[in-house]
Amino acid sequence: MTEYRFIGKSTPRKDARDIVTGKLKFINDLTIPNMLYGKVLRSPFPHALIKNIDTAEAMRLPGVEAVLTHKDVPEWLGGASPLHVRILDSKVRYVGDGVALVAAETEDICEEALRLIKVEYEPLPAVYDVEEALQPEAPRLYDRFPGNLMPPENRIFGPHTLQEIVIGDVDKGLEEADFIIEGNCAYENIPNPMPPEPPGVIAAWEGPDTLTVWSASQGPHMFKVALQKRMGSINLQSIGSPVGASYGSKFMSWQYVLPAAALAKATGRPVKFCYGKAEHLAAFTVRLGSRIYGKVGMKKDGTVTFVSGDWFVNTGAFSETAQAMVAVGCGEAQLMLRCRNWNLKPKVVCTNRTASGQIRGFGGQELKCALTPIIAMGMEKAGLDPVEFFKKNYVKPGEDFYWRDGIRWVCRGIDFSSAIDRGAETFGWKEKWKGWLTPTAVKGAKRRGVGVGVHGNADVGEDVSEAFVRLDPNGTATIYSGLAEHGTGQRSSICKMVAEILQLPLERVSVTPTDSRVNPFELGPVGSRGTYAIGSAVIAAAEDAKRQLFERMAPKFNVLPEDLETKDGAVYVKGRTETKIPWIKGMGYDSTCLGHGRFEPDFSQPNFMMIFTEVEVDTETGKVELIRVVGATDVGQVIDPLSLTNQLNGCLGSAGIDSALFEETVFDIRLGRIMNPNMIDYKWRTFFELPEMEHVILETPFPSHRFHAIGVGEITPSPGPSAVLMAVSNAIGVRMNDYPLTPDKVLRALKKIATAKRAAV
């Protein structure tokens, strides 16, 4: 391996001191002159017509500047393609749907004004179950979507966007199978991703068609693009603030930006709109619901001959990115399961539960958490070790798959078999694995079981990134990038890349604020693309700036540019370090070198993660305890060890493993509302309950960029839920096919076993 000065070393984050001292300003810390506050009156009904709204008393309240209803708001549309959701409508479609908007001098005045608005509703029948919503007699949420079925969209990722997996000949796969498995599984307990910071925005109109927004967005520049699609041809400046975590949920959500912009336009003053925690849990977007009825053909050696089935996707009242998530999920299933014959048909359905949005895992987690347990039934029937099965069937270099764009890609990444083997060895898989539905150990009422899950994603190379790197005469470098800091330290990592290329001390490399008027286009750190896609653009910009520097300095040494090297802000001839010329003497005080870098999409290098889990189940109480987690992957080259470790630790939480255990959004179908929108009733893991965790990280160079690295952040939580489901099933000897594995479900399954045994006697 190459020995680097900064890459692969643990270095302080650029923003570390500001974070721990409180200097860093998050969106809720920001104020601008003459600013108002905005709030939303939300529906208590899951489905109803608004017959009348009386806002007169609210408008008379001192400090209230505007009260808007569906009759007053602009015709800006949101929702997944086709855009179809108004800011406010005459019909509400879930508990928490917007009814009216208020702008006032303080948040307390806003809250008082909301209480003064009088609304007359006409309740309508509601539907929450995805299959019930497809029935002819089901209530219809939108006139334009008959049967509550959203149309497949073929333009999200280009003209051939993947809408289903229909490949080969399923009938041929039927003939080739040694046995066929049928089953169903649901991953639809709608866990909230739970970022500590609720969503928030400030909107200010600087003219009739010029809008500035400050937001805690994971992708401020893409925020601009998304808003312009919804608001028309306006001049829009998007400024990002530090993101207090996102887990995908705050990438480009329009639900809070459009109301703030509408209130700002109505009042002629800036408006700040931030969710409270209860509002965040109950009325913001949650994960798509996923349910699969599937059939799988398999040979005794673990070769999968066909996969077919129906994938029911519950968007709730609407979704920002449902079809996009379906496209990515269909691609990721092919990475996990090498199979030539597919007929998997998604159905994207609207219901009256809380709306859905993108969450870490982006479609692949939803699909594979429901599909993997069905495949496991085939492994069980064949008596196959799941580790060996996944190692056999995961896509290898030279093998092909269709990605989200509907284009056939050939994998040119690396073989992850070594990472799988190393992970299994570290976990002690061969010693712990006793067979399907067989516990690893039994001690009184407590039984232990083990399981594995896999996940991979080709979106590490998704979409375009652009960057500039400017070299100043004083020996400093500035990166112009729209990369938002969403908690992973990625902005510090690109500084390390530039520092390594230019051999500058880290303190001499900085990144511009995330302002769309300053920086070139940047999609944002999603899909684990930060290391490869964003990193490639930044590396190219730094190398371009370095080339320009050497072209200017070469005449001073009477050598060719390629004969030069630089370190610590000075240039010298390679091998002759005794004579160095500072940048300023070569550039002059009145010039700079500005390098440009651009990354084009490349889906040929998918990443991969295998997670091994061990659980202990108390058969008397039904409680499941996660004992140990081992994650195994290959990153090509570690950029920053501590940042990587923190990313891998992110396998826990409501975006990952804990959605299989206890992070459940409790939804009451009698009232159509979430019953636990608070941090007391919403059960989550504390630091004292963390399991033993170990990470196996290999470094096999990828053909990615100068540092041969690839990102792994998003995939770390995705294998966890199905691994835990497998482990619990093995511990108790009963197959479980529903998340989360709460004590009541475990006890119910165990009681069924007891009843069956008594009947047999």
Domain presence at residue 175: no
Confidence of residue 670 (pLDDT cuts 50, 70, 90): confident
One-letter amino acid at 98 equals G
In whole angstroms, give the CA distance from residue 122 to residue 176.
57
Is residue 333 domain-shared with residue 423, that is, in the same domain? yes
Residue partners of 757: CB distance under 8 A and separation at least 6: none
pLDDT at residue number 220: 86
Is residue 310 domain-shared with residue 272, that is, in the same domain? no
pLDDT at residue number 68: 98
Dihedrals phi, psi of 493, to nearest 5 degrees: -65, -40
Which of 169-183, 281-295, 440-454, 675-689 has the least mean pLDDT?
675-689
Residue 535, domain extent? 16-24+463-599
- Whether the per-residue pLDDT at 202 is higher than 90: the answer is yes
In whole angstroms, give the CA distance from residue 347 to residue 330.
12
Report how many domains make up the chain: 3
Confidence of residue 1 (pLDDT cuts 50, 70, 90): low
Q: Which among 200, 199, 259, 189 has a CA at the least distance from the CA of 230?
A: 259
Dihedrals phi, psi of 240, to nearest 5 degrees: -95, 140
Q: What average pLDDT score do residues 632-651 get? A: 94
Within 244-394, strands assigned E span 271-274, 289-298, 304-316, 342-350
What CATH number does residue 336 fall under? 3.30.365.10
In whole angstroms, give the CA distance from residue 55 to residue 73.
14
Domain presence at residue 212: yes
In whole angstroms, give the CA distance from residue 207 to residue 466.
29
Dihedrals phi, psi of 288, to nearest 5 degrees: -55, 145
Is residue 555 domain-shared with residue 653, that is, in the same domain? no
Query: What is the sign, positive or negative, of the torsion defined by CA atoms of 514, 36, 194, 93?
Result: negative
Domain presence at residue 555: yes
Which of 67-81, 201-215, 288-302, 740-754 has the least mean pLDDT?
740-754
Is residue 298 domain-shared with residue 277, that is, in the same domain? no
- Whether the per-residue pLDDT at 757 is higher than 70: the answer is no
Q: What average pLDDT score do residues 564-590 get? A: 94
Other C-beta atoms lying within 10 Å of the C-beta of residue 386 = 25
What CATH number does residue 255 fall under? 3.90.1170.50
Looking at the chain, the number of H-run helices and the number of E-run strands are 18, 33
pLDDT at residue number 365: 95
- Whether the per-residue pLDDT at 753 is higher than 60: the answer is no
The distance of Cα 555 from the centroid of its chain, to the nearest Å, equals 50
Which of 64-68, 72-76, 318-322, 432-436 has the least mean pLDDT?
318-322
Select from 599, 631, 656 the last residue of a domain.
599
In whole angstroms, give the CA distance from residue 336 to residue 391.
9
Is residue 112 domain-shared with residue 212, that is, in the same domain? yes
Is residue 748 domain-shared with residue 623, that is, in the same domain? yes
Over pLDDT 90: what percentage of the chain?
81
Domain presence at residue 543: yes
Dihedrals phi, psi of 754, to nearest 5 degrees: -60, -40
CA angle 194, 198, 200 (to 5 degrees): 150
Is residue 444 domain-shared with residue 490, that is, in the same domain? no
Select from 584, 599, 614 the last residue of a domain.
599
In whole angstroms, give the CA distance from residue 478 to residue 538.
11
- Whether the per-residue pLDDT at 655 is higher than 90: the answer is no
Query: What is the sign, positive or negative, of the torsion defined by CA atoms of 527, 685, 441, 380?
Result: negative
Within 493-606, strands assigned E span 509-511, 564-567, 570-573, 576-582, 593-599
Confidence of residue 555 (pLDDT cuts 50, 70, 90): very high
Is residue 557 domain-shared with residue 645, that is, in the same domain? no
Domain presence at residue 468: yes
Is residue 415 domain-shared with residue 504, that is, in the same domain? no
Q: Which among 119, 134, 120, 127 has a CA at the least distance from the CA of 47?
A: 127
Q: Is 330 in contact with 345 (CB distance < 8 Å)?
A: no
- Whether the per-residue pLDDT at 683 is higher than 80: the answer is no
Q: Please return the burial class of 176, using the count of CB atoms within 10 Å of its CB with bins 0-12, 13-18 and 19+.
A: middle
Location of structure tokens 């590396």: 539
Is residue 341 domain-shared with residue 471, that is, in the same domain? no
Query: What is the sign, positive or negative, of the torsion defined by CA atoms of 130, 135, 136, 138?
Result: negative
Domain presence at residue 189: no
Q: Is 501 in contact with 549 (CB distance < 8 Å)?
A: no
pLDDT at residue number 755: 43
- Whether the per-residue pLDDT at 303 is higher than 90: the answer is yes
Confidence of residue 758 (pLDDT cuts 50, 70, 90): very low
Domain presence at residue 643: yes
Q: Is 537 in contact with 598 (CB distance < 8 Å)?
A: yes
Over pLDDT 70: what percentage of the chain?
98
What are the beta bridge partners of residue 165? 344
Is residue 425 domain-shared with residue 353, that is, in the same domain? yes
CA angle 351, 353, 356 (to 5 degrees): 90
Q: What average pLDDT score do residues 590-608 get? A: 97
Select from 599, 622, 639 the last residue of a domain.
599
The rounded mean pLDDT for the chain is: 93
Q: How many CA atoms lie within 13 A of 128 on its CB side?
A: 17
Domain presence at residue 482: yes
Is residue 203 domain-shared with residue 279, that is, in the same domain? yes
